[in-house]
Each structure stands twice: as structure tokens, then as C-alpha cells.
């Protein structure tokens, strides 16, 4: 597997932290009254126009921009009935366009995606919402209850929800960071499977390296659905599913889980400098 090992991006200390700076704040409040999954006629009309632009321009452009190859498409056909009944997909988050790439591959489904709240308040907030972004509320119990209720309605209505369990985007980062348990908790709560998806890298061609300064090309690999183990006690199911999903994404990204730098579950985990093999006190588990 090709590993870019780039130092271009300021990867933070904690593995779930963000390093992109959102310059604008439009003042949006994500409380119990906020339409996390907006089903209004006005919003849906605007979204149809965005979907048209995605089909005609953005999806083809994303394949070219990422140098994208897709493996495992047969799983979308093999498990079509499963996917049509509602699914949660989970992948590593390694590029600003990796969700757009997934949208293009998932057609005719139109996935929604959980996003960092400042991205919806920021300069691209309207576009983030129109392509399916759902802000994650923080620090408000009522908002969290409304948010989970909206996600439940989406999944019961046979929707597709994309979750980045690493918690943030780190561009061109090869190791799979620890997963938070939110995706698995939703899967257990609403009886839906998790579809693991792994992004890995390929060395770009001479033309891409020289003319476009491209660090790496991307390969998306789609796995098979994972289900909660109902033989386990209820309180253990989400943790078990999180661990199995993390292992699946590792393998889809070309990494054996035992050789991945990070443990499967986030616990204030700190970034490992894999140039030197050193790591912080937040790292738990064995390599």
C-alpha cells in the first residue's frame, strides 16, 4: 500500500480534533427546534437542483480530482435489499471530497452525512446542508434528543447515513484513527447495519505529481454489511460493533488491524508520530 506520509497538513494532537479553520459564523443555533433532517418543500426543491449539478458536473469531476478507483461495487448489488432498507456507512475521513465520491458511488441512493457543527455555520454552510450535511449538536441535551430522533426517522424511512467515526478529517493520513461509538450506537438503536468503506492511496502518475502537485490518488473499497451481535448483552453491542467496523475499515484500506498504529476505540487518543514511532499518553492498546 502506498503511504503518502506527507507533512503538509498540521495534524492535531488528539486524533478527533480538526485543523481546518472555519472563518465565518452565521449564528445558526443547533437546538431542539433545529431541522436536522430538513424535509420542507422549499429545501427539497433547492436540493433537487444541487443533485442535478452533482450528477452532471461534480461527480465526474470528483473522480478526476481524486484519481478515484472503486473496488467492491459488487457488494452494493449483492446487498441491494439491505441497503434499500436503510444503512449507516462508515469510513476513514481523508479528503474534503471523499463524501462526494461516496455519494457518486452510492447512486441511486442519496446519503446524508454527519458533520462538524462549525462547518454548517461557516462560509460553505448552505452548500454543506444541501449536499446532505447534518450538524452534530454539542452541550444541549434537548438538541441531542431532537438530533437522534431525526436520525431515527431518516433510518426508519430507509435512508442512508454516512458517519466518519474518526471524528474529523485528516487529509492523506494513512493509519486508521480510533473510532467513536456513535455510528454503532445508532446501528444498535435502530436495527440497521453498518457498511464499512475504506480509502487507501496510490502513487500518482508523473503528470499528476508535476502538473497538479497531487500527493496521492485514492482507492475506495466497499465492504460487506456488519450487524450488531444480539447474543451479547445490550450494553456491549455498540462497543463490539465499533471494534469490528474499525477492523473492517483497516482491511479495506490495506492495513492489517494488528499492524495499525491505533487502537480501535477512541479514548482521548493522541496522535502517533509514525515517522519515529513515538506516541502520547492517550494511546491505549497494543500495536
User: Is 13 part of a structural domain of the chain?
Assistant: no
260: CATH: 3.40.1130
Of 210 and 152, the one with more pLDDT: 152
With a cut of 90, say whether residue 225 has pLDDT above it: yes
Which residues are CB-contacts of 205 (< 8 A; sequence separation ≥ 6)?
A: none
User: Is 194 part of a structural domain of the chain?
Assistant: yes
DSSP-assigned letters across all residues of 156-198? HTT-EEEE-TTSS--TT--SPPPBPSHHHHHHHHHT--EEEEE
Distances (CA, A) of 78 to 51, 184, 225: 26, 22, 10
User: Is 30 part of a structural domain of the chain?
Assistant: no
User: Is 46 part of a structural domain of the chain?
Assistant: yes
As a residue count, the chain comes to 287
Give the containing element (helix H, strand E) for 3: none
Residue 273 confidence class, pLDDT cut points 50, 70, 90 = confident
With a cut of 80, say whether residue 285 has pLDDT above it: no
Range of the domain at 85: 41-279
Percent of the chain with pLDDT over 90: 91
Residue 286 confidence class, pLDDT cut points 50, 70, 90 = very low
User: Is 287 part of a structural domain of the chain?
Assistant: no
Return the residue matching grid coordinates 454503532. Answer: 184
User: Is 36 part of a structural domain of the chain?
Assistant: no
Q: What is the pLDDT of residue 36?
A: 98
Give mean pLDDT, residues 35-63.
Answer: 96
Q: What is the pLDDT of residue 107?
A: 92
Q: What is the pLDDT of residue 276?
A: 60
User: Is 237 part of a structural domain of the chain?
Assistant: yes
Number of structural domains in the chain: 1
- Quickly count helices (H) and strands (E) in the chain: 11, 9
With a cut of 50, say whether residue 221 has pLDDT above it: yes
Q: What is the pLDDT of residue 272?
A: 93
Q: What is the pLDDT of residue 279?
A: 44
CB 144 within 8 A of CB 137: yes
Of 95 and 279, the one with more pLDDT: 95
Q: What is the pLDDT of residue 2?
A: 93
User: Is 273 part of a structural domain of the chain?
Assistant: yes
With a cut of 70, say whether residue 283 has pLDDT above it: no
Give mean pLDDT, residues 157-183.
Answer: 98
In 46-125, at which residue ranges do the beta strands (DSSP E only) sit? 69-71, 87-91, 112-115
Q: Tell me the whole-structure pTM to 2 decimals.
A: 0.93
| Residue whose C-alpha is closest to residue 146's, from 12, 38, 275 | 38
Cα 189 off chain centre by: 19
Half-sphere exposure of 161 (CA within 13 A, CB side): 31
DSSP-assigned letters across all residues of 11-61? --SBTT--------------STTS-SS---HHHHHHHHHHHHHIIIIIHHH
Residue 212 confidence class, pLDDT cut points 50, 70, 90 = confident
Amino acid at each position: 500500500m502506498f503511504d503518502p506520509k506527507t507533512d503538509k497538513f498540521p495534524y492535531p494532537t488528539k486524533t478527533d480534533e480538526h485543523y481546518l479553520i472555519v472563518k465565518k459564523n452565521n449564528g445558526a443555533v443547533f437546538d431542539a427546534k433545529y431541522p436536522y433532517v430538513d424535509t420542507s418543500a422549499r429545501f427539497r426543491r433547492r436540493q433537487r437542483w444541487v443533485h442535478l449539478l452533482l450528477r452532471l458536473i461534480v461527480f465526474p469531476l470528483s473522480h478526476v480530482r481524486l484519481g478515484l478507483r472503486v473496488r467492491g461495487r459488487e457488494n452494493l448489488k449483492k446487498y441491494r435489499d439491505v441497503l434499500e432498507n436503510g444503512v449507516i456507512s462508515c469510513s476513514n475521513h481523508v479528503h474534503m471530497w471523499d463524501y462526494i465520491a461516496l455519494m457518486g458511488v452510492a447512486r441511486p441512493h442519496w446519503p446524508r452525512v454527519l458533520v462538524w457543527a462549525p462547518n454548517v455555520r461557516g462560509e460553505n454552510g448552505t452548500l454543506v446542508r444541501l449536499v446532505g450535511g447534518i450538524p452534530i449538536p454539542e452541550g444541549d441535551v434537548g438538541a441531542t434528543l431532537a438530533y437522534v430522533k431525526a436520525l431515527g426517522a431518516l433510518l426508519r424511512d430507509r435512508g442512508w447515513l454516512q458517519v466518519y467515526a474518526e471524528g474529523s478529517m485528516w487529509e492523506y493520513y494513512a493509519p486508521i484513527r480510533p473510532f467513536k461509538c456513535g455510528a454503532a450506537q445508532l446501528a444498535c438503536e435502530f436495527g440497521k447495519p453498518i457498511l464499512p468503506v475504506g480509502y487507501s492511496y496510490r502513487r500518482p502518475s508523473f503528470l499528476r505529481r508535476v502538473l497538479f502537485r497531487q500527493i496521492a490518488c485514492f482507492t475506495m473499497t466497499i465492504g460487506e454489511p456488519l450487524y450488531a451481535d444480539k447474543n451479547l448483552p445490550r450494553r456491549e453491542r455498540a462497543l463490539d460493533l465499533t471494534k469490528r467496523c474499525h477492523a473492517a475499515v483497516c482491511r479495506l484500506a490495506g492495513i492489517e488491524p494488528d499492524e495499525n498504529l491505533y487502537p480501535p476505540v477512541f479514548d482521548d487518543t493522541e496522535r502517533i508520530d509514525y515517522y519515529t514511532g513515538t506516541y502520547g499518553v492517550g494511546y491505549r492498546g497494543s500495536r
